[in-house]
């Protein structure tokens, strides 16, 4: 594994909390982790992670995983890639893919440095090679929060939740904050989905999370479709789900979360 000190970003993080004149309180977070891949949604998530780490005085760890599965595929003689815009088919070689990964790593390094500029923030960029989910899970600890964008979107076929995002949401040992770069963040209530088996009360919301929103609001939804309808026109605040609730909702509709127009936080 290679580790670098770096920085990131462009995007619109939540506005500073101006309700008190005091500086940010000591952090109850161990670290803020930002999973990066140089895409637009991950750079937006990076900006959010920088803002959160700065306000909570936590360390920022930017994670970039060079996908070993993709590199392995390039070794097959019949491997090829299809341009997302052009539709052109090109041979996929290991050397060409290594060069592309090196360029992406350089862009991420520059993005991290740009994102943390002007912030007094402990931060580092950790670069590793392996399977994205396995590498990310190995680095996360229960006291962290993992911030990532809503990956796997398809304009042609509609919003979809990427398989990497889904696995991390359901398996990460820490809280996961999923940011939607398609919508401008506006402060508002954090909606708690009520559930008999997993009640969530205002007092159980961590301080770092409460600071992003204006209070909490209970929300009763008995199925994925009902939850989506209730939030379809929401323009402010966010949604908090227990992991067991999320698993049940995704079993009903695997792409429901991608269509929610709000930041989503998943906790144990």
Q: What are the sequence ranges of the domains in the chain?
A: 1-180, 183-268
Residues of the chain with pLDDT under 50: 1-12, 15-27, 152-158, 196-200, 202
pLDDT digits (tens, 9 = 90+) for 77-106: 767 777 656 777 777 777 877 888 888 899
Q: What's the confidence (pLDDT) of residue 84?
A: 58
CATH architecture of 183-268: 3-Layer(aba) Sandwich (3.40)
- 1-180 sits in which CATH class? alpha beta
* Alpha-carbon gap, residue 159 to 41, rounded angstroms: 13
Q: What's the confidence (pLDDT) of residue 185?
A: 82
Q: What's the confidence (pLDDT) of residue 40?
A: 79
Please indicate whether the domains covering 1-180 and 183-268 agree at the CATH topology level: yes
Query: Quick one: 71 exposed, middle or buried, by C-beta within 10 A (0-12, 13-18, 19+)?
Result: middle
pTM of the model: 0.79
Q: What's the confidence (pLDDT) of residue 243?
A: 92
Instruction: Reduce the DSSP state of residue 29 to 3 states and report it.
Output: coil
Q: What's the confidence (pLDDT) of residue 18?
A: 38
Instruction: Reduce the DSSP state of residue 220 to 3 states and report it.
Output: coil
Both tokens of residue 6? 């770096």
Q: What's the confidence (pLDDT) of residue 29?
A: 76
Sole residue written with tokens 């049940």? 248
């Amino acid at each position: 594994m290679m580790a670098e000190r770096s920085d990131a970003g462009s995007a619109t993080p939540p506005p500073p909390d101006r309700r008190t004149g005091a500086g940010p309180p000591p952090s109850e977070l161990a670290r803020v982790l930002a999973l990066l891949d140089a895409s637009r949604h991950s750079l937006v998530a990076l900006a959010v992670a920088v803002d959160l780490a700065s306000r909570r005085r936590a360390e920022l760890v930017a994670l970039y995983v060079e996908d070993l599965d993709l590199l392995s595929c390039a070794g097959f003689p019949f491997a090829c890639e299809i341009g997302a815009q052009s539709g052109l088919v090109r041979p996929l070689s290991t050397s060409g893919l290594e060069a592309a990964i090196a360029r992406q790593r350089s862009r991420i390094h520059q993005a991290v440095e740009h994102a943390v500029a002007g912030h007094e923030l402990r931060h580092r960029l950790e670069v590793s090679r392996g399977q994205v989910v396995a590498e990310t899970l190995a680095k996360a600890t229960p006291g962290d929060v993992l911030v990532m964008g809503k990956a796997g979107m398809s304009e042609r076929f509609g919003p979809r939740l990427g398989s990497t995002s889904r696995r991390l949401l359901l398996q990460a040992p820490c809280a996961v904050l999923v940011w939607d770069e398609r919508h401008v963040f506006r402060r508002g209530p954090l909606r708690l989905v009520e559930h008999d088996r997993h009640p969530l009360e205002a007092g159980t919301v961590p301080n770092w999370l409460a600071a992003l929103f204006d209070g909490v609001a209970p929300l009763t939804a008995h199925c994925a479709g009902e939850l989506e309808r209730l939030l379809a026109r929401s323009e402010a605040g966010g949604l908090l789900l227990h992991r067991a609730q999320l698993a049940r909702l995704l079993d009903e509709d695997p792409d429901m979360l991608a269509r929610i127009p709000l930041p989503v936080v998943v906790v144990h």
